[in-house]
Amino acid sequence: MLEIPILGLLSEAPMHGYELRKRLSALLGTFRAFSYGSLYPSLRRLQEAGWIDEEDVPIEEPAGGFGTRSRRGKRVYRLTAEGKEHFAALLAEVGPDAYDDEGFGTRLAFFAQTRSDIRLQILEGRKQRMTEQADGMRSSLARTRERLDRYTLQLQEHGLESADREVRWLNELIETERRGPNPSP
């Protein structure tokens, strides 16, 4: 879901849907683009759950004029008290989904608001996941190397290199995290 990124962005400042989407794209790079078809329904769900609420900002009326009012105003969303609690709880609990591409990316984006021990746990879990993936690719590659055409071979070697690079990157992050001092919220 878009639970973590939406609550996370709203924890920094109230925002309307359109801006939320822009900030999401900027934050997560082009690595993950969220369409309105998932954003607006998510906002609806989060609102029903009571974690965010909405303040409508109507169109600015030209002073003294009789505007048509036909255009919708902005819907500015902000975290409720329960929403703040829920977001903190989300950042504090670590499941297997924190280790896959999407879950890890969104959590890393809000690491500054995450406890240091949880940060380490997530980094270690992701590292283990990527190490297993890389090793799987390596052994598969060793087994089937001769049977592959050069293009498939290139594809798999590039994938393997990317996985290995991510493991090395994670090692740096882990080392920095251990060395500290890293502010814990």
- Element (DSSP H or E) covering residue 155: helix 150-179
Contact pattern from residue 11 through residue 50 relative to DNA, giving x for each residue in contact according to CB under 7 A and a dash for the rest: -----xxxx--x---------xxxxxxx-xxxx-x-----
Q: Is the Cβ of residue 65 or residue 96 nearer to a copy of itself in the bound state?
A: 96
Q: Choose among 107, 103, 106, 96: nearest CA to 132.
A: 96
| Position 72 contacts DNA (CB under 7 A) | yes
72 binds, among a copy of itself, DNA, none (CB under 5 to 8 A by kind): DNA
Q: Which helix (H) or strand (E) holds 44?
A: helix 36-48
Q: Which residues bind a copy of itself (CB under 8 A)?
A: 26-31, 105, 108-109, 111-112, 133, 136-137, 140, 144, 149-152, 154-156, 158-162, 165-166, 169, 173
Gap between the Cα atoms of 152 and 158, Å rounded: 10
Answer for which of 11, 25, 53, 75 binds DNA (CB under 7 A) is 75
Q: Is there a contact between 15 and 23 (Cβ–Cβ < 8 Å)?
A: yes
Stretch touching DNA by CB under 7 A, among 70-78, 104-112, 131-139, 175-183: 70-78
Give the CA distances from residue 58 to residues 51, 54, 64, 75, 86, in Å, rounded to whole numbers and listed in that order.
Answer: 23, 13, 15, 9, 29
37 binds, among a copy of itself, DNA, none (CB under 5 to 8 A by kind): DNA
Query: CB neighbours of 111 closer than 8 A, spacing ≥ 6?
Result: 119
Q: What angle do CA 47, 48, 53 make, to 5 degrees?
A: 30
> In the complex, what is the shortest distance from the CB of residue 28 to a copy of itself, in angstroms, rounded to a whole number?
8
- The answer to whether residue 71 forms part of the interface with DNA (CB under 7 A) is yes
Q: Which residues bind DNA (CB under 7 A)?
A: 1-2, 16-19, 22, 32-38, 40-43, 45, 59, 68, 70-72, 74-75, 100
